[in-house]
């Protein structure tokens, strides 16, 4: 047996319910594919709405116990989970590569990043505090306490199968909430293995349930309608986010929404061009371009545009495309054929409207869902890929003449998650950061994610923050107690 087949055959593939592996109530299962081959890796239990409600029974009855568990104990369980995750880091990395496709080096990066939320929130769990003050009128005293919101439903996407889960689970558990996780149907295996880590770390049964399903809407709707559920936290597309907010509105359910992006990356003529190229490689090509923070629109000052484009094209042409399990692979497959067709259609649309293809621009022969790393220059403003998320290894370059036009173009989108700027001028960096309508700005760097920083967007990229000292607030209610 290979290491991959060994790992796959040892995985938990049933639902995590009440701290135990449990088949779906119907016994149904669905297949999980390796996007590098199109072949089935294994199958997992297919949770039904009844299974969802059973998980909510457990979450609701465990809630008081977990909320009353001393913060130090909650913290230590999270810290043990962090250590256990690290002790199995190679298994997690291989599993992420097998079900999602990214290179092993990138999967190792995700394991490190994803684990960091467990450590960060183990540290935040013991720092939940309130406030006491005398009422200014001298009529009493004001006491403010922070309390766990209650059972949480967390719905996660496939592009970071581990980190998008730990970014929600860790702060929720730290705050004293019980959690139901619905992982993406393309990548449920990593989350199910994380369930094992939490069981081994001593998390009491019922506090965390993991519910893969082939029918997300049918599972989540009755949960959202149930008064025992107190919060929905979602990472995924803006379309599904809007649907969930509408469903949640009926009960005024608290929601956090980490939605789609359309990040501008601006290279000014005073930038260090080599550093800008390296930053763009990270902001664009990391995760095969399948990141909500991926640079979707690359605006380059016209005097340096050709120099930048040539250097970027040379770097992108040198990338090795292949199965993420091969040691020399830089760019793995896209998640599935649907995603590849979307990317291909966006590139064809841009080319038909006049964009120049500097490299790539084609679907690669199978098996697997590969697309060639691509650079497009002179992308016209009418191209669909300037308005929609590309979610693939395609760099779209547009020239600009002035700082004002660059800012206006960057802000001309319904999204507002991440932005990037490259300049050696500090005044300009601060001025443009302030003018950009996005939740996060990277200055002279292509990766901005950090467990210690608040991640999130504005406009149709959603609301709420994950990570940082802000992240735990999403799972706490504020109570004011008036003392005589
Ligand atoms: P998606 O919206 O299709 O799916 C996300 C999750 O929602 C999956 O678990 C899916 O099963 C579930 N889902 C789908 N329909 C549902 C329904 N009707 N009711 C309840 N749940 C439903 O998104 P995706 O394709 O998995 O992920 C890519 C998207 O996620 C991109 O738009 C990307 O920008 C976004 N994303 C955002 C962030 C962020 O932090 N802002 C991070 C990663 C990805």
Compute, in angstroms, the gap from residue 378 CA to the centroid of ligand 1: 31
Per-residue pLDDT at 1 exceeds 80: no
Q: How far apart are CA 88 and CA 74, in angstroms?
A: 21
Q: How far apart are CA 83 and CA 68, in angstroms?
A: 24
* 2 band by pLDDT with thresholds 50, 70 and 90: confident
Q: Determine which one of 99, 124, 290, 292 is catalytic.
A: 292
Compute, in angstroms, the gap from residue 40 CA to the centroid of ligand 1: 22
Compute, in angstroms, the gap from residue 157 CA to the centroid of ligand 1: 5
- The model's pTM is 0.98
* 249 band by pLDDT with thresholds 50, 70 and 90: very high
| Long-range CB contact pairs, 329-333, < 8 A, 24+ | 329/103, 329/104, 330/103, 330/285, 331/103, 331/285, 331/288, 331/373, 331/393, 332/35, 332/36, 332/97, 332/101, 332/102, 332/103, 332/106, 332/288, 333/35, 333/36, 333/101, 333/288, 333/368, 333/369, 333/370
CA dist list (Å): 208 to 151, 180, 404, 473 = 10, 6, 49, 19
Residue bearing the CA closest to ligand 1, atom 23 = 236
**Residue to probe by mutation, ligand 1, list 46, 49, 157, most atoms within 8 Å of CB:** 157
**Residue to probe by mutation, ligand 1, list 240, 438, 458, most atoms within 8 Å of CB:** 240
List residues bridging with 39 in a β-sheet: 34
List strands edge to edge, sheet with 208-210. 20-22, 15-17, 208-210, 179-182, 152-155, 231-235, 254-258, 462-463
Confirm if 368 and 333 have CB atoms less than 8 A apart. Answer: yes
* 451 band by pLDDT with thresholds 50, 70 and 90: very high
Mean pLDDT of 55-67: 98
- In SS3 terms, the chain reads as CCHHHHHHHCCCCCEEECCEEECCCCCCEEEEEECCCCEEEEEEECCCHHHHHHHHHHHHHHHHHHHHCCHHHHHHHHHHHHHHHHHCHHHHHHHHHHHHCCCHHHHHHHHHHHHHHHHHHHHHHHHCCCEEEECCCCCCEEEEEEEECCCEEEECCCCCCCHHHHHHHHHHHHHCCCEEEECCCCCCHHHHHHHHHHHHCCCCCCCEEECCCCCHHHHHHHHHHCCCCCEEEEECCHHHHHHHHHHHHCCCCEEEEECCCCEEEEECCCCCHHHHHHHHHHHHHHHHHCCCCCEEEEEEEHHHHHHHHHHHHHHHHCCCECCCCCCCCCECCCCCHHHHHHHHHHHHHHHHCCCEEEECCCECCCCCCCECCEEEECCCCCCHHHCCCCCCCEEEEEEECCHHHHHHHHHCCCCCCEEEEECCCHHHHHHHHHHCCCCEEEECCCCCCCCCCCECCCHHHEECCECCCCHHHHHEEEEEEEEC
Mean pLDDT of 129-133: 96
**Residue to probe by mutation, ligand 1, list 236, 337, 453, most atoms within 8 Å of CB:** 236
Mean pLDDT of 308-323: 98
CA dist list (Å): 56 to 27, 148, 164, 210 = 19, 16, 21, 11
Instruction: Verify whether residue 177 is a known catalytic residue.
Output: no
For the chain, give the percent of residues with pLDDT over 70: 100
Residue bearing the CA closest to ligand 1, atom 35 = 236
Confirm if 207 and 62 have CB atoms less than 8 A apart. Answer: yes
* 81 band by pLDDT with thresholds 50, 70 and 90: very high
Q: Determine which one of 258, 290, 473, 474 is catalytic.
A: 258
Compute, in angstroms, the gap from residue 341 CA to the centroid of ligand 1: 18
Please name the residue that has the structure tokens 């545009």: 305
Quick one: which atom of ligand 1 is closest to the CA of 335? Answer: 25
Quick one: which atom of ligand 1 is closest to the CA of 457? Answer: 41
Q: Give the pocket of ligand 1 (CB within 6 Å).
A: 155-159, 164, 182, 184-185, 216-217, 220, 235-237, 240, 243-244, 258-261, 292, 389, 417, 457
Quick one: which atom of ligand 1 is closest to the CA of 240? Answer: 2
Please name the residue that has the structure tokens 């700082």: 403
Rounding to the nearest 10 degrees, give the CA dihedral for residues 310, 416, 393, 317: 10
Per-residue pLDDT at 385 exceeds 60: yes
Residue extents of the structural domains in the chain:
3-259, 263-450
Compute, in angstroms, the gap from residue 21 CA to the centroid of ligand 1: 25
Compute, in angstroms, the gap from residue 286 CA to the centroid of ligand 1: 19
Quick one: which atom of ligand 1 is closest to the CA of 243? Answer: 18
Compute, in angstroms, the gap from residue 307 CA to the centroid of ligand 1: 37
Each residue of 402-437: pLDDT tens digit?
999 999 999 999 999 999 999 999 999 999 999 999
Per-residue pLDDT at 477 exceeds 60: yes
pLDDT, residue 70, reads: 98
Quick one: which atom of ligand 1 is closest to the CA of 184? Answer: 9
The mean predicted confidence, pLDDT, of the chain is 98
pLDDT, residue 481, reads: 98
Q: How far apart are CA 415 and CA 354, in angstroms?
A: 25
Residue bearing the CA closest to ligand 1, atom 13 = 216
Each residue of 157-175: pLDDT tens digit?
999 999 999 999 999 999 9
Q: How far apart are CA 266 and CA 67, in angstroms?
A: 46
Instruction: Verify whether residue 292 is a known catalytic residue.
Output: yes
Out of 3.40.190.10, 1.10.150.20, 1.10.10.10, 3.40.605.10, the CATH code matching 3-259 is 3.40.605.10
Mean pLDDT of 266-294: 98
At the top level of CATH, which class does the domain 263-450 belong to? alpha beta
Mean pLDDT of 325-345: 97
Quick one: which atom of ligand 1 is closest to the CA of 292? Answer: 34
- Which of 436, 428, 434 is CA-nearest to residue 409? 436
pLDDT, residue 377, reads: 98
Residue bearing the CA closest to ligand 1, atom 8 = 184
- Residue 273 burial class via C-beta count within 10 angstroms: exposed 0-12, middle 13-18, buried 19 and up: middle
Compute, in angstroms, the gap from residue 158 CA to the centroid of ligand 1: 8
């Amino acid at each position: 047996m290979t290491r991959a087949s060994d790992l796959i055959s040892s995985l938990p593939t049933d639902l995590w319910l009440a701290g135990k592996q449990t088949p779906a109530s119907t016994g149904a299962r669905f297949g999980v594919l390796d996007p590098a081959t199109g072949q089935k890796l294994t199958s997992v239990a297919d949770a039904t709405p009844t299974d969802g409600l059973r998980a909510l029974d457990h979450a609701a009855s465990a809630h008081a116990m977990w909320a009353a568990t001393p913060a130090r104990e909650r913290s230590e369980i999270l810290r043990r989970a962090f250590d256990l995750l690290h002790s199995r880091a190679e298994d997690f990395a291989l599993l992420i590569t097998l079900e999602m496709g990214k290179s092993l080096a990138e999967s190792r990066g995700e394991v490190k990043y994803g684990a960091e939320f467990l450590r960060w929130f183990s540290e935040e769990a013991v720092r939940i505090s309130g406030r006491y003050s005398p009422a200014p009128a001298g009529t009493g005293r004001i006491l403010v306490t922070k309390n766990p919101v209650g059972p949480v439903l967390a719905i996660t996407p496939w592009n970071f199968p581990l980190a998008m889960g730990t970014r929600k689970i860790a702060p929720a558990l730290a705050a004293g909430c019980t959690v139901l996780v619905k992982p993406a149907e393309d990548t449920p295996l990593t989350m199910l293995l994380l369930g094992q880590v939490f069981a081994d770390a001593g998390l009491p049964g019922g506090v965390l349930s993991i519910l893969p399903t082939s029918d997300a809407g049918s599972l989540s709707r009755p949960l959202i309608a149930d008064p025992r559920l107190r919060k929905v936290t979602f990472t995924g597309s803006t379309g599904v986010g809007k649907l969930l907010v509408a469903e949640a509105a009926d009960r005024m359910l608290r929601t956090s929404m980490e939605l789609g992006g359309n990040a501008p990356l601006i290279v000014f003529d005073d930038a260090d061009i080599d550093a800008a190229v390296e930053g763009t490689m990270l902001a664009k090509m990391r995760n095969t371009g399948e990141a909500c923070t991926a640079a979707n629109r690359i605006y380059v000052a016209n005097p340096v545009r050709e120099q930048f484009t040539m250097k970027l094209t040379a770097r992108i042409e040198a990338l090795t495309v292949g199965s993420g399990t091969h040691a020399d692979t830089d760019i793995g497959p896209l998640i599935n054929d649907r995603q590849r067709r979307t990317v291909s259609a966006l590139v064809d649309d841009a080319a038909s409207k006049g964009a120049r293809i500097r490299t790539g621009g084609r679907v690669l022969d199978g098996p697997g869902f590969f697309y060639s790393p691509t650079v497009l220059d002179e992308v016209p403003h009418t191209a669909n890929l300037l308005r929609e998320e590309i979610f693939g290894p395609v760099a779209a370059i547009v020239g600009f003449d002035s700082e004002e036009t660059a800012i206006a173009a960057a802000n001309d989108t319904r999204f507002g998650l991440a932005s990037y700027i490259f300049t050696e001028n500090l005044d300009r960096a601060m001025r443009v950061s302030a003018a950009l309508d996005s939740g996060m700005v990277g200055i002279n760097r292509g990766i901005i994610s950090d467990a210690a920083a608040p991640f999130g967007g504005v406009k149709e990229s959603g609301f709420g923050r994950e990570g940082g000292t802000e992240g735990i607030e999403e799972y706490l209610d504020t109570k004011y107690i008036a003392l005589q």
